[in-house]
Every structure is written in C-alpha cells, then in structure tokens.
Amino acid sequence: MLSEAPVPPRVACFTGVFILVTFAPLLAQSNAVQTPPLADSLFFAGDWAGAKVAYQTFIETNPKVVPAYIRASLAAIRLGQPADALQILSAAARLEPPAAQLALVQARMAMAESVRRNVAVALTLLEKAQASGYNNVVELDGDAAFESVRGKTRFKGVRAKAFANSYPCMADPKARAFDFWVGEWDVYVRGSQQRAGTSSIQNVSGGCMILENWTSWNAPYSGKSMNFVDAATGKWKQVWAGAGRDVTHFSDGEYRDGAMRFGYENVNPQGQKVAGHFIFYNLGPNKVRQFQDATTDGGKTYQTVYDFIYVRKGSGESPMP
C-alpha cells in the first residue's frame, strides 16, 4: 500500500517513518534525488498552495523525480484544480515510471477525474492503478476526491480487491479457524460456577493474529498471548507471557474435530521435560472449553493443568453442562 495523504498529528511520527520506508525504493529509482524538505513540510502541513508551488519549482530543475509530480498533483486536487493535477500527472506518466510510482500516478489521475465527475474515466484509471499495485483502502474509503465514484459497482470491486491485498488473512480460511475464541468472556472452572478469570480475545493485525488478554479472578495474575499461523509450518502457534515471568510456546496448532489443538514441550523450573496437549473446544457461539494437560514421563501419564469453560459475556449462558 502506498499513500501520499498527510496524516493527523497523533500518528504523524509512525506514518512519517512508513512514508520514508515506502518511498526509499522510489527515490532510488529517481537518481537518488529526494523531494525538497521545504515542499514536503508544506505538503504534510496541508499548505496546498505553498506545496504546489514549491514542488513545481523543484521539478523545473529536477524533472525526473516522479514523487514530486505526485505530491504536486495531490496539492492541486486539494486546491480544487483537477485540470492542473492531470497536466502534472501526464508529465509524470511520460517519464515511464516503474510500477510502484505509476500506481500512484494513475491513482491521482483517478482522483482528479473523479473530482471532475468523469466517472467512467476515473474508474478505468483506478483499475489500472490497482493493477500496478495501488491498494490504499483508507484512501478508497475516506478520501473526498473519490466521492463521485464510491457508490459504483466497479469501485466496489476495486475496493474489495484492495482490501484482500492489504489484509490477506481476512480471506484465509486457515487464519479464520480460531475466530470462535474471539470475544469478551467470563471464565469458570469446568463443571462448576467457580470463577477463574476474565478474558478479552481480540482479532488484531489485520486478522493475522488473535490477542488474548487474561486477568485472573481475585488473584494477582494476568497475561497475554499472541496466536497466529506460523508461516514456516502453516500451523497455528501461541506465545504466552504471564505476570510471573512465565513464558510458554504452544505449536503445531490445527483446527480439527471441532477444536483448535496445540502441543507443547518445555522444561520446568525443576529441570524436568514437560510436554502435553493444549486444546480449545468450540462449544457453539457462546462457549469455549480450554484444556491443558502435562506429562513428565514421556507420555506414560498425564495430569490436568486446568480445565476451563469460557462463557460469552451478556449471552445468558450457564457455565454448567
């Protein structure tokens, strides 16, 4: 995803780094000449008139720096000058920029044509931009320049592809296999109404990770776990870190027979090798059973570590069978 739009101050530092990173290869392809700091300062401050003039002045002596054209064109669009933007972008396109730069050139052309309400032309340019690598869902969803095309079927197709490209885990069935655990839960010792804790399970990182936030009931203990599909194995992995400095890795997770099933193996403080099963049973929309056992004799005998029932808050479900 490439973006040229300025950002609110609260995220400016992060996005500034992001923009520098994404533009590093683009600038390298432009004879390593960077866009001028003064023009960039005006651009990110939203001084569109000043930025446009500064970039155009820079382009006069640095005619091959495509990012300067892209930023100047967006400044023109923000000033309500789509014809000027198209003229600037046409000059950039004649430089035959690489795909990453061309994607932004075409996207800005689509913006300008959308502002002019040339809907069909704007949509064609947007489709071309996407084919070149443009997938900025945030811009597609929120930029006022796309207002005239946002309700069109072709635009929705571009948006759907952009979302899938930006958030590949959201459409990956394997990455969605643990979604039954996502939610706000009260947790009980299985077979009783004894509270064990509460847990907030969140779908984060664009759907690529499930984050557990555990708090024990009436006890000074809490912890978090990260759950994700390990790219190296294609199986789920959990990394747990607790308030007692306890860290456990669970691996080889697979959803089968109605449950997410992990294994684990580590060494306890006594130096014993401990292994076992770690299972989340999907008991329907409002209940999950979490079970862990352990063996210290190579699997000859197992002891239950804990056996919990999660009940979704507000569901009215009982923890009892």
Task: Report which residue type is found at 203.
Answer: N
- Per-domain residue ranges of the chain: 9-166, 179-312
This prediction has a pTM of 0.78
pLDDT of residue 271: 87
Query: Mean of the pLDDT values across residues 217-239?
Result: 97
The whole-number average pLDDT for the span 287-297 is 97
Over residues 92-145, the pLDDT tens digits come to 999 999 999 999 999 999 999 999 999 999 999 999 999 999 999 999 999 999
Q: How confident is the model over 175-215, as pLDDT tens digits?
A: 999 999 999 999 999 999 999 999 999 999 999 999 999 99
Read out DSSP for 138-202? HHHHH-GGGTTTTTSHHHHHHHHHHHHHH-GGGG-TTTTTTGGG-EEEEEEETTS--EEEEEEEE
- Dump pLDDT digits (tens) for 18-75: 333 333 333 334 445 699 999 999 999 999 999 999 999 999 999 999 999 999 999 9
* Residue 33 pLDDT: 67
9-166: CATH class: mainly alpha
What's the pLDDT band for 7 if we cut at 50, 70, 90? very low
Alpha helices, DSSP H, located in the chain: 12-28, 37-44, 48-61, 66-78, 82-93, 99-115, 119-132, 137-142, 153-166
Rounded CA-CA distance 262/277 in Å is 6
CATH 2.40.128.20 is held by the domain 179-312: yes
| pLDDT band at residue 5 under the 50/70/90 scheme | low
> Which pLDDT does position 27 carry in this prediction?
38
